[in-house]
């Protein structure tokens, strides 16, 4: 028997991945430079609106997954959706703190460079930990 794996990957894996890339884009737009903020149309309200939009897309995708696979436990893919929710929350918090923080705060260092540099390593490390915990324990 051959399995059709392409359709489930596109339906259930791609939406959280695209959401994570979009969140990184929101993170990249955070800047204190007025000329860059004006050209990108970025402000904290827009960042929160984008995070809310991404949240609703991800939650609809997860609800669709849960309806297709009727189980009481937490699926392996559910952990990635939960990780995406955490990323959405942290990017939204980062946007608000970035705007409200004073110049001497660590979040202001080089236009939020620390958050931008840590985004993908933290996410991929969390994905690795999730995979190890689910499949090896």
Question: What pLDDT digit, counting tens, does each position of 27-57 carry?
Answer: 888 877 766 666 667 777 888 999 999 999 9
> Which token pair is 50?
């984008």
Q: Which pTM was predicted?
A: 0.87
Specify if 18 maps to a domain: yes
Tell me what pLDDT residue 132 has. Answer: 96
CATH number for the domain that contains residue 29: 1.20.58
Helical ranges in 1-137 per DSSP H: 6-8, 14-28, 34-40, 44-68, 76-100, 113-136
Cα maximum dimension of the chain: 61
Domain of residue 111: give its range.
6-136
> Is the residue at 95 inside a domain?
yes
Q: Is residue 107 part of a domain?
A: yes
Rg of the chain (C-alpha set): 17
Cβ atoms of residues 14 and 6 within 8 Å: no
- Asked whether residue 23 is domain-assigned, the answer is yes
Cα–Cα distance measured from residue 32 to residue 38, given in angstroms and rounded to the nearest whole number: 10
Instruction: Say what the pLDDT of residue 53 is.
Output: 95
Tokens of 9: 């990957």
Place of tokens 């260092």: 109
Q: Is residue 1 part of a domain?
A: no
In a domain, 46, yes or no: yes
Which portions of the chain are predicted below pLDDT 50?
A: none
pLDDT value of residue 22: 95
Please count the structural domains in the chain: 1
User: 31: buried, middle or exposed (CB in 10 Å: 19+, 13-18, 0-12)?
Assistant: middle
Length of the chain: 137
């Amino acid at each position: 028997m051959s399995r059709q794996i392409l359709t489930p990957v596109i339906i259930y894996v791609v939406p959280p991945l695209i959401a994570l890339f979009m969140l990184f884009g929101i993170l990249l737009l955070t800047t204190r430079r007025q000329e860059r903020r004006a050209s990108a149309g970025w402000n904290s309200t827009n960042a929160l609106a984008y995070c809310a939009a991404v949240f609703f897309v991800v939650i609809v995708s997860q609800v669709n997954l849960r309806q297709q696979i009727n189980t009481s436990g937490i699926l392996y893919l559910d952990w990635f959706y939960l990780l995406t929710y955490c990323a959405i929350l942290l990017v939204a918090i980062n946007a608000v703190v970035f705007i409200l923080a004073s110049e001497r705060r660590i979040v202001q260092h080089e236009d939020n460079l620390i958050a931008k540099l840590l985004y993908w390593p933290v996410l991929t490390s969390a994905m690795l930990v999730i995979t190890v915990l689910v499949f090896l324990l």
